[in-house]
């Protein structure tokens, strides 16, 4: 009875509600009366909704006293009480943040939209796009959004993978400038390998948290005259969120199924194909991020962001079939420096003890012993893959009004990052000079780890002083990176060696003080803005040595005589043996005799010195260098007419360590029609050699015959550099030319096409190694060692065309957005600029050594010269989705060594990798306006790039410079708010 009563009441209520339902029609316009298509119209408190058509009209059935919630991208939300009306006209104002979403990059004047600038600017609304994107980090988000932008992530898990470096237009990471809220961002302490053929210190994008970002503006034009050093390829400005008035967060889980591709038909053996197919999911990652922004009643705001991400490593092995153990190991023939025997195959001893000769025969083979130990060739393979990482960052952005004319602002972040990757070749037990049974009976795979702390802090005051706008600020940034290796050892210490070692610490800090002042003259033609400013920058770079064992030569292989005239005989009366189990004898076959007891020594075993895989930084590599930079600029923007904009800038900078640089820029834009404008710019630019490039030094040890020698990458200020005649590094200088047009077609399609050419003089490269026979002047310094240097190696150029088209249209019940963008590029090495060096090499030999073939190839064709990205977004009611296709053109790698190839011919093992196409997807369902779930993936069809040809298949199996070798990635993300 009670149930029946409740049911009746409910039915009555529904009938009562139905009785109040009406059909509401209306029209949505913006503030100037333009109809707004695609506006979401939802009955508040329900999931019921509609969407406005192309003319801004909508219709919806609703209760007569319901409230309609209208929302559209770029406009403020609005709530309308129906109040019994059946026809409602609604005006949506532009969202507050959209009003300021004019471009601030590349201009010190009033904001302009991206179609009004003199140079191409990509505006990527991270705040809007992030929810549907598989990518979690800013660099990869931008790669997926801007075709000229690239962020090479090493697939080798080496130190390069400790940094996410940004690049533009196929140039190096240190040839673009990164700004946060318009202020220069510091770079990483690490001089990391880059995809453009030269090592570079780059801004680490991973410490810039996407959740803290409103949008990213990428200026694709030289801008050194406006922003100083590094802005050769362009400038990226990250605009942080302000007072959002809500807490938003997201939790993402993702991973790689790791389903290896079918390699049948390749020269990879059937056995190895089976091993490569035996995979399991990896690279599982979690990310939790939150952002809260509040606006103060008196003005100003505070925005706080936190992020923690943990990502496991991915493993993409290359199985080499190199001998794992070797005969000496298998037959227990190894001895130490004193002649004591080392039982390396106890399984064989056990088989002998039990009299099982058949098993003993098996155990004397590599495969037999591997089987006995449950190992395969895969266990002895070298791993490529993405490094494991833990990342934590907190960031803030705030402003407080001081009075009506002045505002204090500040923003900054603190981050911690740990990465650990498989950066080294597998050390097989067969390699006797780097083997130790006690520590690593089956060999080892050294891993390198980096621990970073990164801090950035900006404080400043801006406002007006009389008729002038001004901005006074100070920005401090520091990156400190400690390097460790684990699963390694110093073989020359044998069992006494630690297996985890501190390799040293690099740190870099940069303090930049800016004072900018500008004035807008509205009575000069159609408006003139003049800005002047000064900058003072102080930088410091330090290298601290690691622990002694990481760079020392131990005595485990050295034998010291115990008596006078002691013959080097073992307990068995035979001569002691070297690492190859060969007797240590004189030329006539007689044992070597040590004349003096307690004094005479012999290196019986040439164990490899230093930390295996990467020698620690030693005291001779240490550095602590400062420099200061002062700069001044003049910047003017003149609206000659309403249709013609003309801008110019001049800048001079003085570096305490290498002198003065003067740059300039002119740019213009002319609107031929309301929806069609031409634009172009001509500028000079430069990039100062960084403190890292000037001072980084590292040494490795190699053997000539039986003697160890050092190979060192020397700073250019070293005596070795002076001896051979290498000059001090100077700045790279560029000339940029850009011309293009912008248009809006059919009032729906925004299209920009820009062509560019950048010529760079004195690009910094690294030489091959020189020895004293090639450069006798080096002999007193390097002896039989090797020396290499960083040099202004030659001139390069890049030219290309960039096309970006955006289209937005109501389709069906939802809103469709399409973007197509592409880059067609050509990079050219114009030739080496070889100075008169003190060598005995021919001009041709010297040129080849000065800038090697591989570096040239990497710059010219090592990364895709053709890239296209096509993406579509569709939002309908509570659903939204993104589908993106990315095309990476073919790449070609050039080999450095003329050699006998696997087919018996002589030549270089060059290789062209075919073009690749990958597909990303993301679909979001909004359960409420505060809770949404997104699922999707990138490279969802699990496309792998081509495998390397056999001659080059050492570390990697797959091409490294297209979509990477991790395969498909899938994720789920919960986005929430309060």
Partner 1 sequence: MKHTSIKIISLLFLVFFTASCEQEMPEAALEVAEGGGTLRNYTAYTIDAADPSGSNVYGRVVFWKGTLNRTLVQVSLYNTLEGQQHPALILEGASGVGTTTLLTLDTVSGDTGELNDNKFYVIGDSSFYDGLLDLDAHINIYLSETDNTVVASGNIGLNADPVESN
Provide the binding-site residues for partner 1, judged by CB under 8 A: 249, 251, 286, 288, 308, 310, 312-313, 331-333, 336, 340-350, 352-354, 360, 372-375, 379, 388, 390, 418, 420, 437-438, 440-445, 447, 486-487, 571-574, 928, 930-931, 974, 976, 978
* Min CB(700)–partner 1 separation in Å: 23
Give dist(CA 762, CA 833) in Å, integer: 8
Locate tokens 């505002």: which residue? 407
Q: Which helix (H) or strand (E) holds 16?
A: helix 2-20
Residue among 865, 864, 850 nearest 896 (CA): 850
Closer CB to partner 1, 331 or 833, in the complex: 331
* Min CB(597)–partner 1 separation in Å: 16
> Are the beta carbons of 10 and 17 closer than 8 angstroms?
no
* Min CB(482)–partner 1 separation in Å: 16
* Min CB(6)–partner 1 separation in Å: 23
* Min CB(334)–partner 1 separation in Å: 9
- Which backbone phi and psi does 970 adopt, to 5 degrees? -125, 150
* Min CB(907)–partner 1 separation in Å: 38
Q: Please, what is the Cα angle at 917 between 915 and 920, to 5 degrees? A: 155
Number of other residues whose CB lies within 10 A of the CB of residue 402: 12
* Min CB(880)–partner 1 separation in Å: 19
* Min CB(878)–partner 1 separation in Å: 14
Q: Which residues contact 674 (CB under 8 A, 6 or more apart)?
A: none
The first and second tokens of residue 435, run together, are 């083997």
* Min CB(441)–partner 1 separation in Å: 4
The first and second tokens of residue 100, run together, are 């300021």
> Are the beta carbons of 127 and 213 closer than 8 angstroms?
yes
Closer CB to partner 1, 215 or 309, in the complex: 309
* Min CB(360)–partner 1 separation in Å: 7
Closer CB to partner 1, 25 or 563, in the complex: 563
Q: Which residues pair with 62 in a beta bridge?
A: 22
Number of other residues whose CB lies within 10 A of the CB of residue 689: 23
Closer CB to partner 1, 162 or 545, in the complex: 162
Closer CB to partner 1, 341 or 704, in the complex: 341
- Which backbone phi and psi does 632 adopt, to 5 degrees? -145, 145
* Min CB(260)–partner 1 separation in Å: 19
DSSP character at residue 946: P
The first and second tokens of residue 77, run together, are 């939300």
Q: Which residues contact 685 (CB under 8 A, 6 or more apart)?
A: 222, 223, 224, 225, 231, 232, 663, 733, 734, 735, 736
The first and second tokens of residue 387, run together, are 């490094």
> Are the beta carbons of 937 and 881 closer than 8 angstroms?
no
Residue among 817, 674, 844 nearest 747 (CA): 674
Rg of the chain over Cα atoms, rounded to whole angstroms, equals 33
The first and second tokens of residue 492, run together, are 């020359």
Number of other residues whose CB lies within 10 A of the CB of residue 564: 13
SS3 368: helix
Residue among 869, 748, 882, 728 nearest 790 (CA): 728
Closer CB to partner 1, 445 or 761, in the complex: 445
Closer CB to partner 1, 173 or 443, in the complex: 443
Q: Please, what is the Cα angle at 145 between 143 and 146, to 5 degrees? A: 75
* Min CB(537)–partner 1 separation in Å: 36
- Which backbone phi and psi does 146 adopt, to 5 degrees? -125, 115
Closer CB to partner 1, 447 or 473, in the complex: 447
Give dist(CA 648, CA 107) in Å, integer: 10
> Are the beta carbons of 856 and 830 closer than 8 angstroms?
no
SS3 616: coil
The first and second tokens of residue 129, run together, are 């796009």
Give dist(CA 569, CA 575) in Å, integer: 4
Strands (E), 674-748: 676-687, 698-704, 707-714, 732-745
Closer CB to partner 1, 16 or 353, in the complex: 353
Alpha helices in 87-180 (DSSP H): 96-99, 126-129, 138-143
The Cα-based distances of 579 to 28, 337, 499 in angstroms read 84, 9, 21
Closer CB to partner 1, 344 or 410, in the complex: 344
* Min CB(251)–partner 1 separation in Å: 5
Closer CB to partner 1, 227 or 440, in the complex: 440
Closer CB to partner 1, 344 or 960, in the complex: 344
* Min CB(481)–partner 1 separation in Å: 17
Give dist(CA 39, CA 37) in Å, integer: 6
Closer CB to partner 1, 190 or 449, in the complex: 449
The first and second tokens of residue 818, run together, are 């399409």
Q: Which residues pair with 761 in a beta bridge?
A: 733
Closer CB to partner 1, 315 or 751, in the complex: 315
Closer CB to partner 1, 1 or 353, in the complex: 353
Half-sphere exposure of residue 821: CA atoms within 13 angstroms, side-chain side: 24
Closer CB to partner 1, 30 or 379, in the complex: 379
Give dist(CA 28, CA 42) in Å, integer: 13
Closer CB to partner 1, 287 or 552, in the complex: 287
Closer CB to partner 1, 574 or 941, in the complex: 574
């Amino acid at each position: 009875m009670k149930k029946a009563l409740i049911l009746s009441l409910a039915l009555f209520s529904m009938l009562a509600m139905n009785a109040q339902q009406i059909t509401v029609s209306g029209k949505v316009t913006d503030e100037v009366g333009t109809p707004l298509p695609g506006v979401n119209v939802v009955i508040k408190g329900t999931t019921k909704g509609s969407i406005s058509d192309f003319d801004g009209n909508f219709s919806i059935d609703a209760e007569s006293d319901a409230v309609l919630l209208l929302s559209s991208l770029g406009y403020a939300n609005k709530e309308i009480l129906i109040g019994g009306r059946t026809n409602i006209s609604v005006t949506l104002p532009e969202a507050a943040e959209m009003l300021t979403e004019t471009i601030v990059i590349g201009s010190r004047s009033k904001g302009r939209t991206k179609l009004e600038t003199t140079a191409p600017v990509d505006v990527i609304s991270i705040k809007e796009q992030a929810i549907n994107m598989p990518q979690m980090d800013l660099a990869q988000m931008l790669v997926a959004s801007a075709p000229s932008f690239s962020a090479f992530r090493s697939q080798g898990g080496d130190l390069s993978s400790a940094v996410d470096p940004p690049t533009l237009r196929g140039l190096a990471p240190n040839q673009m400038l990164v700004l946060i809220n318009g202020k220069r961002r510091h770079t990483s302490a690490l001089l990391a390998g880059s995809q453009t053929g030269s090592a570079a210190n780059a801004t680490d994008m991973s410490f810039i948290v996407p959740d803290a970002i409103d949008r990213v503006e990428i200026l694709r034009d030289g801008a050194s005259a406006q922003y100083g050093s590094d802005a050769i390829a362009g400038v990226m400005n990250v605009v942080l969120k302000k007072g959002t008035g809500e807490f938003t967060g997201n939790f993402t889980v993702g991973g790689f199924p790791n389903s290896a591709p079918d390699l049948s038909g390749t020269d990879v053996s059937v056995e190895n194909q089976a091993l490569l197919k035996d995979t399991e999911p990896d690279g599982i990652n979690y990310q939790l991020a939150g952002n809260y922004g509040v606006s103060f009643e008196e003005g100003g705001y505070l925005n706080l962001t936190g992020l923690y991400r943990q990502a496991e490593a991915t493993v993409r092995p290359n199985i080499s079939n190199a001998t794992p153990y070797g005969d000496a190991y298998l037959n227990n023939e190894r001895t130490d420096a004193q002649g004591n025997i080392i039982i390396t195959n106890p399984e064989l001893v056990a088989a002998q003890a039990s009299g099982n000769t058949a098993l003993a025969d098996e155990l004397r083979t590599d495969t037999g012993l591997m089987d006995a130990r449950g190992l395969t060739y895969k266990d002895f393979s070298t791993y490529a893959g993405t490094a494991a990482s833990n990342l934590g960052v907190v960031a803030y952005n705030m402003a407080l009004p001081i009075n009506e004319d002045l505002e204090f602002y500040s923003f900054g972040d603190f981050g911690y990052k740990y990465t650990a990757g498989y950066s080294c070749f597998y050390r097989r037990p067969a390699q006797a000079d780097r083997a130790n049974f006690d520590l690593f009976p089956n060999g080892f795979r050294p891993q390198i780890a980096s621990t970073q702390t990164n801090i950035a802090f900006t404080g400043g005051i801006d406002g007006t002083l009389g008729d002038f706008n001004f901005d006074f600020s100070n920005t401090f940034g520091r990156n400190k990176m400690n390097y460790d290796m684990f699963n390694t050892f110093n073989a020359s210490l044998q069992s006494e060696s630690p297996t985890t070692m501190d390799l040293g610490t690099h740190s870099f800090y940069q303090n930049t003080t800016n004072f900018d002042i500008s004035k807008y003259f509205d009575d000069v033609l159609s408006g003139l803005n003049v800005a002047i400013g000064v900058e003072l920058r102080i930088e410091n770079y330090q290298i601290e040595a690691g622990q002694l064992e990481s760079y020392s030569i131990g005595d485990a292989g050295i034998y010291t005589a115990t008596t006078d005239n002691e013959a080097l005989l073992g307990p068995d009366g035979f001569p002691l043996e070297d690492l190859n189990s060969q007797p240590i004898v004189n030329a006539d076959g007689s044992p070597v005799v040590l004349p003096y007891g307690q004094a005479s020594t012999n290196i019986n075993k040439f164990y490899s010195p230093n930390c295996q895989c990467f020698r620690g930084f030693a005291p001779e590599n240490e550095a602590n260098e400062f420099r200061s930079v002062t700069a001044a600029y003049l910047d003017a923007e003149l609206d000659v007419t309403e249709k013609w904009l003309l801008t110019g800038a001049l800048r001079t900078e003085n570096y305490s360590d290498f002198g003065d640089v003067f740059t300039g820029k002119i740019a213009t834009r002319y609107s031929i029609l309301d929806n069609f404008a031409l634009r172009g710019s001509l500028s000079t630019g430069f990039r100062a050699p960084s403190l890292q490039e000037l001072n980084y030094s590292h040494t490795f040890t190699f053997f000539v015959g039986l003697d160890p020698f050092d190979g060192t990458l020397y700073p250019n200020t070293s005596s070795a550099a002076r001896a051979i005649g290498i000059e001090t590094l100077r700045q790279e200088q560029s000339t940029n030319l850009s011309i293009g047009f912008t248009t809006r077609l059919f009032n729906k399609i925004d299209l920009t096409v820009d062509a560019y050419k950048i010529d760079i003089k004195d690009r910094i490269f690294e030489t091959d190694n020189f020895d004293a026979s090639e450069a006798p002047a080096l002999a007193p310094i390097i002896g039989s060692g090797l020396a290499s240097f960083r040099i202004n190696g030659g001139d390069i150029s890049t030219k290309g065309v960039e096309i970006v088209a955006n289209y937005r249209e109501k389709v069906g019940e939802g809103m469709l957005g399409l973007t197509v963008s592409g880059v067609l590029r050509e990079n050219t090495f114009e030739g080496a600029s070889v100075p008169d060096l003190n060598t005995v090499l021919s001009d041709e030999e010297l040129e080849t050594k000065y800038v090697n073939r591989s570096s040239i190839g990497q710059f010219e064709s090592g990364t895709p010269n053709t890239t296209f990205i096509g993406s579509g977004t569709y939002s309908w009611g509570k659903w939204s989705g993104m589908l993106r296709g990315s095309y990476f053109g073919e790449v070609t790698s050039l080999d450095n060594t003329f050699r006998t190839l696997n087919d018996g011919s002589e030549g270089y093992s060059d290789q062209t990798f075919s073009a690749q196409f990958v597909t990303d997807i993301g679909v979001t369902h909004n359960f409420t306006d505060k809770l949404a779930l997104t699922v999707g993936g990138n490279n969802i069809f699990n496309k792998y790039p081509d495998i390397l040809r056999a001659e080059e298949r050492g570390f990697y199996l797959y091409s490294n410079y297209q979509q990477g070798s991790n395969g498909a990635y899938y994720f789920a993300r919960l986005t929430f708010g309060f």
